[in-house]
Structure 1
Amino acid sequence: MKLSWWEWLPFRRWRIVGTVEFADEIPERLPKRAVVLVASGGPPKWVGFKCPCGKGHEVLLNLDEGRRPTWALSLSETGKISIAPSIDYLDGGRRCHFFLRNNKVLWAKDSIR
């Protein structure tokens, strides 16, 4: 998957920049607020993006209701992205716990970014 130069502009809002067939095809480098869907001919099974904390780790969330845990990705009429429930990333001493609602990141109080 090749991203256009304008996807790297810093003022871009949360947006879907592409779809790949397999999760290992998600580019290692992604712009801020860029979401990649993983789908092979049907509805998306996964969503991947860089964590908004800025530390560089990737978040990969399951969208398939047949597997647990499951998240739901929704787009508003104006293209704003929401993911439910919250995203909780724990790695060693760092915890990134946030909500993505209408293109806004809302950090939970228990985050240690």
Structure 2
Amino acid sequence: MRCPCGCGEVIELMLLEEARPRWDLKTDENNRPTLHPSVWRRKGCRSHFWVRKGHIFWCE
């Protein structure tokens, strides 16, 4: 996915069971994604956010 801050960087999230760290991806009845845990870029723009039902919720 592209970083939602607009910096244009690609964020790769591991979804495989055996991967560490890894994220859980679920979709609702409208195909909107939810990710767990939050996404926190430690380099670059340093964005920190949650994806819930297809919406971005920024952390302070």
> Structure 2 length as normaliser, TM-score?
0.92
Q: Does 1:105 align with 2:53?
A: no
- Amino acid of the residue matched to residue 96 of structure 1? S
- Amino acid of the residue matched to residue 104 of structure 1? H
CA distance in 1, matches of 2:42, 2:35: 18
- Matches for 1:21-40 after TM superposition, within 5 Å: none
Equivalent residue number for residue 96 of structure 1: 47
Number of equivalences? 60
- Amino acid of the residue matched to residue 16 of structure 2? D
Q: Which blocks of at least 5 consecutive residues in structure 1 are unaligned?
A: 1-48
Equivalent residue number for residue 44 of structure 1: none
CA distance in 2, matches of 1:81, 1:54: 19
1:56 Cα deviation (Å)? 0.6
User: Equivalent of 2:19, from 64, 67, 74?
Assistant: 67
C-alpha deviations, 1:48-103, integer Å up to 9, x for none? x10000011010000011110010111101111111100011225x3100000001
- Amino acid of the residue matched to residue 40 of structure 2? D
More strand by share: 1
Q: Which blocks of at least 5 consecutive residues in structure 2 are unaligned?
A: none
C-alpha deviations, 1:15-35, integer Å up to 9, x for none? xxxxxxxxxxxxxxxxxxxxx
> Structure 1 length as normaliser, TM-score?
0.51
CA distance in 1, matches of 2:23, 2:50: 11
